[in-house]
Amino acid sequence: MSLVKTLRTALTALTTNKMRSSLTVLGIIIGVAAVIALMSIGQGSQAAVTSNIESLGTNLLFVRAGASSEAGVRGAQGSAATLTLDDANALADPNLAPSVAAVAPEVDTFGQVVAGSENARTQIIGVTPDYQSVRNYQVAEGDFISNAQVQSNSMVAVLGSSVAETLFPDTDPVGQYVKINGLRFTVIGVLQSKGSTGLGSQDDVVMAPITSVMYRLSSTRTSAGGRSVSSINVEVVNANQVNAATQQITSILEQRHNITNGQADFTITSQNSLIQSLQNSTQVWVILLGAIAGISLLVGGIGIMNIMLVSVTERTREIGIRKALGAKRGNILLQFLIEAALMSLIGGAIGVLVGWGISSLISGLTLGGQTINTVISADIAILAVCVSAAIGIVFGLYPAYRAARLNPIEALRYE
């Protein structure tokens, strides 16, 4: 029997029992749709993480202080006060670090910000003008911090979008006054919203000149008694020079900190390694979602096996007649395998469309304060269809083998 005739016979067999075939196909549709929808949510989460980290800037290196140690007890990474403004200025020297494009030190602390009857406890970041370009911040209203304001320790502040909405829900914040830990600052600007990253919200911040934060709001000092910075953000000339920049930064800081034993009192983290680390953590989530969805696809495969066994029993006499007319075991085996594969492929194709529709409908929805983002890729759809076809063949193999092994004489006598 030719392949075309075999396919035609398989379609005839499936359409003979439309309701039974439809319910069997429905199991595959649900399984494939679940795989598409859940995997698209997982990939959407990965894409959102990558996008948010990239919104910090491009080709970045984060230089942070090392861990403190007191009485043999080691503190958290960054707890040691070892970085200074002079360190940042040295890294910005093109003669010492030619692979570095820009440097933006920062001082982090927390404070209570009050405006009239409104208040918020938020992160206070002392910055320089380069911080805006290095960390890819845009000003929605007003101005960013200038060099003159850094040099004069000006009491000015730039509000993150969420802080501005909290403190000034009905008025323009620019030109207004806020009190940070009791000290009066003039609001000179409001930042555009950047959303959240795996490191926290980029909108729940207040920025001020780094010198003002260092001398008025932060009490962190180095072991020598000088004022320290929390971290130094370094923008590399291009992605190809990240390793060179890392080596140059390491050499400069080791020399400045008199490090000779190789135990640096600072750490350098690249933006790419941060993205990779967060993607690895979300990959576990994606795999878990795929495994959950795969269970429903497995149940659909069991349904195919069940229906094909029923079909073999019902068509025992037909199988006997075909064998008596010269059909070989391979012809019978192929016939039932094609029927099982057809149900899987039809269910898989429809399931892809249903899954795509579900993903499109839920994309952008907010659940528990988090926005659901979905990404539908062709490889997921192709994989789901291929897996569904494979499941049809695997679960249809035993019924097909059972049909092929029937004794033609006993099959003809079957009633």
Domain limit, last residue, from 264, 294, 314: 264
Q: Is residue 249 part of a domain?
A: yes
The answer on 162 and 85 residing in a single domain is yes
Encode 369-400: b = buried (16+ Cβ within 10 Å), e = exposed: eeebbbbbeeebbeebbebbbebbbebbbebb
Q: Of 264, 296, 324, which residue sits at a domain end?
A: 264
Same domain for 237 and 364: no
The 10s digit of each residue's pLDDT in 31-48 is 888 888 888 887 787 777
Measured CA distances, 78 to 65, 74, 271, 277, 345 (Å): 4, 11, 17, 18, 55
pLDDT (0 to 100) of residue 363: 80
In angstroms, rounded to a whole number, what is the distance separating the alpha carbons of residues 131 and 208? 11
Residue 1, number of CB atoms within 10 A of its CB: 14
Q: Which percentage of the chain shows pLDDT scores above 70? A: 83
| Residues 234 and 332 placed together within one structural domain of the fold | no
DSSP 8-state secondary structure symbol assigned to residue 203: S
Residue 73 has a pLDDT of: 38
Specify the pLDDT at position 72: 41
Give the total number of structural domains in the chain: 2
Does residue 78 register a pLDDT over 50?
no
SS3 state of residue 200:
strand
Distance between CA atoms of residues 43 and 24, nearest Å: 29
Which of 211, 230, 264 terminates a domain? The answer is 264
With CA atoms as reference, report the closest residue to 301 among 404, 382, 390: 390
Inside any domain, residue 40: yes
User: Which range, 7-21, 177-191, 216-230, 386-400, has the best average confidence (pLDDT)?
Assistant: 177-191
Q: How far apart are CA 59 and CA 172, in angstroms?
A: 35
Residue ranges making up the domain that contains 165:
81-264
| Same domain, yes or no: 311 and 361 | yes
- Same domain membership, residue 281 and residue 246: no
List b or e across 71-88, with b for residues whose CB sees 16 or more CB atoms inside 10 angstroms. Answer: eeeeeeebebbbbbbebb
Q: Does residue 410 surpass a pLDDT of 80? A: no
pLDDT at 74 over 50: no
Q: Is the pLDDT of residue 189 over 90?
A: yes
Between residues 233 and 73, the one the model is more confident about: 233
pTM, full prediction: 0.64
Task: Specify the pLDDT at position 262.
Answer: 66
Let me know if residue 59 belongs to a domain: no
Are residues 368 and 220 located together in one domain of the fold? no
Residues with Cβ within 8 Å of 180's Cβ and at least 6 positions away in sequence, in order, are 111, 112, 113, 124, 157, 206, 208, 217
Residues 215 and 93 in one domain: yes
- Contacts of residue 281, defined as CB under 8 A and 6 or more positions apart, other chains included, come to none
Residue 61 lies in a domain: no
Q: Residue 159 in contact with residue 204, Cβ under 8 Å? A: no
Residues 96 and 238 in one domain: yes
CA neighbor of 179 nearest in space, from 222, 267, 119: 119
Residues 152 and 90 in one domain: yes
Residue 71's pLDDT is: 39
Nearest to 300 by CA among 388, 390, 232, 240: 388
pLDDT digits (tens, 9 = 90+) for 112-164: 999 988 999 999 999 999 999 888 899 999 999 999 999 999 999 999 999 99
Q: What is the pLDDT of residue 43?
A: 79
Query: What confidence tens digit (pLDDT) does each residue in 322-346 have?
Result: 777 777 777 777 777 888 888 888 8
Summarised one tens digit per residue, pLDDT across range 264-277 is: 778 888 877 766 76
Same domain, 259 and 280: no
Q: What is the rounded CA–CA span in Å between residue 142 and residue 304?
A: 65
Among 83, 131, 124, 135, smallest CA distance to 104 is for 131
What would the pLDDT profile of 270-320 be if each residue is shown by its tens digit?
Answer: 877 766 766 676 777 777 777 777 787 788 888 888 888 877 777 777 777
**Residue 148 domain-assigned?**
yes
Residue 67, domain member (yes or no):
no
Domain-embedded: residue 72: no
**Inside any domain, residue 348:** yes
Indicate if 106 and 238 belong to the same structural domain.
yes
- What region, left, alpha or beta, does residue 59 occupy, with left being phi > 0 and alpha being psi -120 to 50 degrees? left
Closest to 246 measured CA to CA, from 91, 90, 104, 136: 91
Q: Are 157 and 208 in the same domain?
A: yes
